[in-house]
Chain A
Amino acid sequence: MTLSPPAIDGITLEPLPGAVPAWHAACDAGSWLGASSAVAQRGGRLAALWASDEREARGGHSVHAAFATYEGLLWLELPVPDARPAYPDLSSLFACAGRMQRAVFDLTGLEARDVEGARPDARGWLRHGAWRDGVHPLRRDIGADAALAPGDARYAFLAVEGDGVHEIAVGPVHAGTIEPGHFRFSVVGERVLRLEQRLGYKHKGIEKRFESLSLNDGARLAGRVSGDSTVAYAWAYAMALEGIAGAQPSARALWLRALLLERERLANHLGDLGFIGNDGGFAFGLAQFSRLKEDLLRLNARLFGHRYLMDRVVPGGVAIDLDERASQDILAECTRLRAELRTLRAIYYEHAGLQDRCIGCGRLTPQTAAKLGVVGLAARASGHAVDARAHPGFAPYPELQPTIASHRNGDVAARIVVRFEEAFEAIELQRRIVRNLPAGGLRAPLGEAQPGRWGFGWVEGWRGEVLVALQAGDGGRVRRCHPHDPSWQNWPALEYAILGNIVPDFPLINKSFNLSYAGADL
C-alpha cells in the first residue's frame, strides 16, 4: 500500500527512498511553524528533533524535525543562519520538543525562540559541567578528540513552596543496579506534589563519535546506543543506510531481523515482568521471570552467537541464519514459554498483593499521553494503539500481521497487561516467522552512498519507536547521525504518572515504564 504524501500547504514534499514512507521538505521560518501546526492539528506527533552543522556546504546550520503522520514520516529542515542562530519553538505545539530543543542548543548552539522571542527553557540539558556554556561540541570545527575545559554544573530546579513541602533528591547514583539520573521530588508527607527529572549524566558524545566512523562501522555503535534495544537500533540504522545506498535486503534477511526483534521484545518483557513483580513486593515473580529470560538468552547465544543479539543485524541484511535444527529449537522454546507464561500470568492476575500495588497506581491518562506525544508500550497502555509495526508498517510486518495490544487504564497494571499480551504475541510471531521463513540471501550488497544524502530508519523496538536519521559523508563515512530513543518522549510522562502517588510507589511506577537513560543521554 502506498499512501499519498500528507497534504500540507506551504511546503514542497520530496519522497525519500527507503523502507518506510517518508517525505522531506525544506522550510523557511514561516513554513516551519505553519507545517508543524498543520501536523499538530491533524493529530501527528513529533518523532525526533536534531540539528546539523552545514557551514562547510552553505553557511549556517539546519534544524530538523521528524513528524509521525498518518501517511508516514514528514521531515522538515529549516536552515538557520549563523548571524541569528534561532528557530521557531515547537514546544508550544509538541510538549516533548522541550528537552530535545535544549539538547540541540547544548550540542550546536541553535536556540528555540517562541513568538515573543524568548527561549522557553534556557537551562542546559546534556551539558552539565563537562564543558563550558557557549561551547557546542557537535559543531564540526571541534575535533572528535577535543578536550574541552570544564564548566559550571549548577542547575536550577523548580522549587515548590508551601506549608510542609519538602524536597527529596535522589541520584544520579541510585540504590540498585540501574542507570544514573537525578530525580527531585517535592512532597508533602509521602505524597508527591511534583517530580523534576534531570538526565544527561550518561552523555558520552555518541553523535560526535559517529562522525569518526565509516557508514558500515556506525552500525556497531548504533547497536550500543541503548544496549537493551540493540536489535531495534541496528535495524533502524541499517534501514537508514540501505535507503541511502539503494540496497534492498532479501525477504529472508528481513524475516530474520523480525525474528531477532521479537526475541529482544520477549527478553525485555520477561525481565520487566519479573522486576515489576519484585518492586511490587513479589520476589517470586523476579525469580521465575529471570529464569525464563536466562533460558531465552542462552538459546540466543547457542543459535546466534550473542545473548543480546548485538551486531547480528548488519547493513544489507543479517549476520546469522536459521537451519532446520535451530528452527525446531525455537518452536520448542515457544511452546514451553507459552505454557510457563500462562501459569505465571494466572498467578500475577490473581495475586491480591500485586493488585493492591498496581491497579490505579502511576496512572498516565490517555489525554496526558496524547498531549506529551508518548510512544511505545506506555502509549499502548494509555489507550493509544501506536505501533510502527502496524502503522506505517515496515517489511516484513505487513505480512506477519501482528496484533497490537492496548489498554485504557494507563496504570502500572495496564503496563503489566500490555507486556503479557505483547510477550504472547512475540512468541506467536516467532512461530509464524520460523514456519514460513522465505528462502533468499542473507546480505545484499550496498550501492554507493552519495555524500550529503540522508536516510531514515523507523523500527518499533520493545520500548517504543526507535528512529535513526543518517547522513552520508565523503569516502563512505558518516557525516551526521541522530539516533532517537522513545525515552525522549516518555520520560516526561513519568513526571505526570507519579503525581498524587506516594514516594514508596515511585520505584514500581518507574519500573513499569522502564525507560532508557543511555538512549536519551547519547
Chain B
Amino acid sequence: MYKILRQIARVGIASEPARPADGALRLGAARLNDETLRLLGRGLAIRHVDAGSCNGCELEIHGVNNPYYNLEGMGIKFVASPRHADLLLVTGPVSRNMEEALRRTYDAMPEPKLVVAIGDCGCDGGIFGEGYASRGPVANVIPVDVAVPGCPPEPAAIIQGILTAVSVAKR
C-alpha cells in the first residue's frame, strides 16, 4: 500500500484543459438549446459503438480517459447501455455486418440521440470506402451531428467533438 500511495503522490495530477467546442465540426444545425444543456448539467453519458474500424480510433477513445485528458473529470462518462446514453460515439466505416447492430443501438437511445462520428472512416468511409461489405460513412446509416476527422483523431480532438455536440450554436 505504501508503494501505491507513494507513486500516486509522486506523479500528482496530470490533467490538462480541454479544447473548446468548434462549430466547424458540425454536419447540421445544433439541436440543443440552453434549457436542455441546463438539464444535462455537467453530466453526459456516452455509448461507444465500433461499427467496423481498424481499431485505431478505439485506442484514442481509450486515451480520452487517461490522466492527461481525463474526460470523466469533466462529468462525461462512458456507459454500458445505449438506454443510458445521451450521445453515441461511432467509429469505422459501417460494415454491412454491423449495420443492423448500429441501427438498433441508435434506436435504443433516448432523445436527444446525439451522434458523433469518429475518424476519417466514420466521416467519409476513409481508405475502406463503400463496397460489398462496407456502407462507408456513419451518416449513411444513422443521422450524425458532429464528425471528427483524423486517422485516428487524437484524444483532444475527440473530446472537442464531444463538447461541440453538447454546445449550443453561437449566434
The chain A residues found within 8 Å of chain B, CB to CB, are 128-131, 137, 142, 144-148, 150, 153, 172-173, 175-180, 200-206, 208-209, 220-221, 224-228, 230, 271, 275, 284, 287-288, 290-291, 293-294, 297, 301, 307-308, 310, 343-344, 346-347, 350, 516-518, 521
A205 adjacent to B97 (CB under 8 Å): no
6 nearest A-B pairs in the assembled complex, by CB-CB distance: A227-B56, A175-B80, A130-B96, A205-B133, A290-B66, A227-B54
Q: Interface centre among A173, A178, A224, A284, by most B CB within 10 Å?
A: A173
Q: Out of B50, B51, B66, which one reaches A291, CB within 8 Å?
A: B66
| Cα–Cα, bound, A128→B96 (Å) | 9
B33 within 8 A of A: no
B63 adjacent to A202 (CB under 8 Å): no
B170 within 8 A of A: no
A130 adjacent to B133 (CB under 8 Å): yes
B101 adjacent to A145 (CB under 8 Å): no
Q: Out of A128, A294, A347, which one reaches B3, CB within 8 Å?
A: A347
- Which B-chain residue is minimally distant from A146 (CB atoms)? B132
Chain A residues with CB under 8 Å of B131's CB are: 144-146, 204-205, 208-209
A347 adjacent to B95 (CB under 8 Å): no
Give chain B nearest CB distance to A156 CB in angstroms: 17
The chain B residues found within 8 Å of chain A, CB to CB, are 3-4, 7-8, 11, 14, 48-63, 65-68, 78, 80-82, 92-93, 95-98, 100-101, 105, 126-134, 151-152, 154
B66 adjacent to A227 (CB under 8 Å): no
A221 adjacent to B127 (CB under 8 Å): yes
Give chain B nearest CB distance to A291 CB in angstroms: 5
Q: Out of B3, B98, B127, which one reaches A180, CB within 8 Å?
A: B98
Q: Out of B81, B95, B101, which one reaches A204, CB within 8 Å?
A: B95
A271 adjacent to B62 (CB under 8 Å): yes
Give chain B nearest CB distance to A17 CB in angstroms: 29
B59 adjacent to A516 (CB under 8 Å): no
Give chain B nearest CB distance to A518 CB in angstroms: 5
A172 adjacent to B98 (CB under 8 Å): yes
B132 adjacent to A228 (CB under 8 Å): no
- Which B-chain residue is minimally distant from A200 (CB atoms)? B97
Give chain A nearest CB distance to B17 CB in angstroms: 16
A310 adjacent to B151 (CB under 8 Å): yes
Chain B residues with CB under 8 Å of A220's CB are: 127
| Cα–Cα, bound, A345→B56 (Å) | 27
Would A290 and B67 be within 8 Å (CB), given that A129-B97, A179-B55, A227-B53 are in contact?
yes
Would A178 and B58 be within 8 Å (CB), given that A172-B98, A204-B93 are in contact?
yes
A294 adjacent to B66 (CB under 8 Å): yes
| Cα–Cα, bound, A518→B56 (Å) | 10
Interface of A is mostly: loop
| Cα–Cα, bound, A275→B92 (Å) | 22
Chain B residues with CB under 8 Å of A128's CB are: 96-97
Chain B residues with CB under 8 Å of A228's CB are: 55-56, 59
Chain A residues with CB under 8 Å of B63's CB are: 290, 294, 297
B53 adjacent to A518 (CB under 8 Å): yes
| Cα–Cα, bound, A359→B113 (Å) | 43
A177 adjacent to B66 (CB under 8 Å): no
A177 adjacent to B58 (CB under 8 Å): yes
Chain A residues with CB under 8 Å of B11's CB are: 288, 291
A308 adjacent to B59 (CB under 8 Å): yes
Q: Out of A173, A180, A208, A310, which one reaches B132, CB within 8 Å?
A: A208
A308 adjacent to B58 (CB under 8 Å): no
Give chain B nearest CB distance to A113 CB in angstroms: 26
Q: Interface centre among A206, A271, A293, A518, by most B CB within 10 Å?
A: A518
Chain A residues with CB under 8 Å of B3's CB are: 343, 346-347, 350
| Cα–Cα, bound, A294→B62 (Å) | 11
Give chain B nearest CB distance to A468 CB in angstroms: 15
| Cα–Cα, bound, A145→B50 (Å) | 23
- Which A-chain residue is minimally distant from B60 (CB atoms)? A307
Can you name 9 A-B pairs with beta carbons within 8 Å? Answer: A179-B55, A205-B134, A224-B128, A227-B58, A227-B59, A291-B11, A310-B56, A343-B7, A518-B52
Chain A residues with CB under 8 Å of B126's CB are: 224
B133 adjacent to A518 (CB under 8 Å): no
| Cα–Cα, bound, A179→B54 (Å) | 9
Q: Out of A202, A284, A347, which one reaches B98, CB within 8 Å?
A: A202
Chain B residues with CB under 8 Å of A178's CB are: 50, 58
A131 adjacent to B132 (CB under 8 Å): yes
A147 adjacent to B54 (CB under 8 Å): no
B101 adjacent to A147 (CB under 8 Å): no
Give chain A nearest CB distance to B127 CB in angstroms: 6
| Cα–Cα, bound, A310→B121 (Å) | 15
Chain B residues with CB under 8 Å of A150's CB are: 96
A518 adjacent to B55 (CB under 8 Å): yes
B133 adjacent to A288 (CB under 8 Å): no
Chain A residues with CB under 8 Å of B92's CB are: 202, 204
A290 adjacent to B56 (CB under 8 Å): no
Give chain B nearest CB distance to A67 CB in angstroms: 28
A307 adjacent to B127 (CB under 8 Å): no
- Which B-chain residue is minimally distant from A285 (CB atoms)? B4
Chain B residues with CB under 8 Å of A346's CB are: 3
A203 adjacent to B67 (CB under 8 Å): no
| Cα–Cα, bound, A95→B24 (Å) | 52
- Which A-chain residue is minimally distant from B64 (CB atoms)? A177
